[in-house]
Amino acid sequence: MAASLVKRLLCVEDKVFLVTGGAAGVGAGIVRGLLNENARHVAFLDVADREGSALEAELITKFGALRAKFIKCDISDEAQLTAAYKQVLDKYRRLDAVINNAAVLSIDDRNVKRMVDINFTATVTSTMKALDIMGANKGGNGGTIINMSSLLALNLGSHLPVYAATKTAVLQFSIAMGAEKLYSESKVRVITVCLGPTDTAILHRSNLQNFDKDSAEPIASRVSVRQRVGSAVSGILEVIDQGKSGSTWIVKDDQKAYEITDKLSQAFEVLSDI
Ligand SMILES: NC(=O)c1ccc[n+]([C@@H]2O[C@H](COP(=O)([O-])OP(=O)(O)OC[C@H]3O[C@@H](n4cnc5c(N)ncnc54)[C@H](O)[C@@H]3O)[C@@H](O)[C@H]2O)c1
């Protein structure tokens, strides 16, 4: 019999996923992509009630009632996040992978703390919860955690300082949590994706222009080239399937995902000599 020409993503097929920020943008694309690749169940958390419920209805029509579940949850509220994880475990009895994708980018100085709380602190809290549930050293079956960072984490720029700092923190944290020694105990891969500009609401002009009102080259115009959400999702699915624990990947410009783990190690080695 001829071998199937369709590549199966073995780290997706038949697995139970939890995706944060899954009601819109890249997160919604990931949720759809996972179900298309035969994930067994995908639960997605979001504060956006209307979008989340609409997506859930769409997915139930397409894939059946049990395959997708929207949970309204502000991930920066630890009690809500804990309750959401419990709901997923109660409903599906297992968890194989978590995509920590939710983030915000705000022009309002009053939202600085909220950016840190959602983009970094909640990613840490969710990663720890996922390790507690999936970690082989905690009685789990192992699994995968993907943490979403940004190309901005790899740049020494003056634009979007707080947002960029949260994404740099996510990168450092995820590299550390994915280290070989921890993986050998938990059997949970922790992987970072640095996403390039992608066509979602987070890049709306109103989100960007006031950050750089004194700049000669507004950031809103520099990020006018954005990849399609579909390209970002394809890259992220590839990383879920292929990435080793502790690895870092770039998904940008509508290209295939590529790994920069060695380059980052070399850069950190240079810095450690200082
Ligand atoms: N779009 C880009 O250009 C770009 C570039 C680099 C990195 N990223 C990263 O990719 C990820 C996805 O971003 P996106 O472009 O899809 O953004 P988006 O704004 O389109 O979607 C983010 C989702 O997160 C949800 N969310 C926000 N706060 C939340 C909270 N407290 N609790 C639960 N859900 C919450 C939002 O409601 C929304 O549905 C983010 O981590 C972002 O930092 C995006």
CA angle at residue 267 from 265 to 269, to 5 degrees? 70
The Cα–Cα gap between 5 and 39 comes to 19
Confidence category of residue 60, pLDDT binned at 50, 70, 90: very high
Confidence category of residue 58, pLDDT binned at 50, 70, 90: very high
SS (H, E, C) 119-186: HHHHHHHHHHHHHHHHCHHHCCCCEEEEEEEEHHHHCCCCCCHHHHHHHHHHHHHHHHHCCHHHHHHH
Nearest Cα residue to 129 out of 140, 118, 119: 140
CA 155 – ligand 1 centroid, Å:
20
CA distances from 116 to 27, 104, 130, 221, 245 (A): 19, 9, 20, 25, 25
Confidence category of residue 149, pLDDT binned at 50, 70, 90: very high
In this prediction, residue 117 carries a pLDDT of: 97
Residue 35, phi then psi, degrees to nearest 5: -70, -40
CA distances from 60 to 64, 65, 132, 229, 230 (A): 5, 5, 29, 22, 21
Q: pLDDT tens across 184-214, in order?
A: 999 999 999 999 999 999 887 555 554 444 4
Pocket test for ligand 1, best of 198, 222, 251 (most atoms within 8 A of CB): 198
In this prediction, residue 10 carries a pLDDT of: 84
Nearest Cα residue to 233 out of 56, 46, 26: 26
pLDDT of residue 119 exceeding 70? yes
CA 119 – ligand 1 centroid, Å:
9
231 lines ligand 1 (CB under 6 A): no
What is the rounded average pLDDT of the residues 53-65?
Answer: 97
The Cα–Cα gap between 120 and 75 comes to 11
What is the rounded average pLDDT of the residues 61-81?
Answer: 97
In this prediction, residue 253 carries a pLDDT of: 96
Going along the chain from its start, the domains and CATH numbers come out as 16-273 (3.40.50.720)
pLDDT of residue 216 exceeding 50? no
Give the residue with greater pLDDT, 210 vs 12. 12
In this prediction, residue 156 carries a pLDDT of: 86
pLDDT of residue 274 exceeding 80? no
The Cα–Cα gap between 51 and 49 comes to 6
State which ligand 1 atom lies nearest to the alpha carbon of 151.
Answer: 6
pLDDT of residue 106 exceeding 70? yes
Ligand 1, atom 17, residue with closest C-alpha: 202
The residues that are catalytic are 163
pLDDT of residue 57 exceeding 60? yes
Pocket test for ligand 1, best of 18, 20, 26 (most atoms within 8 A of CB): 26
pLDDT of residue 143 exceeding 70? yes
Lowest mean pLDDT among 158-162, 223-227, 249-253: 223-227
Residue type, 76: S
Residue 231, phi then psi, degrees to nearest 5: -70, -40
What is the rounded average pLDDT of the residues 46-62?
Answer: 98
200 lines ligand 1 (CB under 6 A): yes
102 lines ligand 1 (CB under 6 A): yes
Q: What does the radius of gyration of the chain's CA atoms come to, in whole angstroms?
A: 18
Where do we find the tokens 């922790």?
Answer: 190
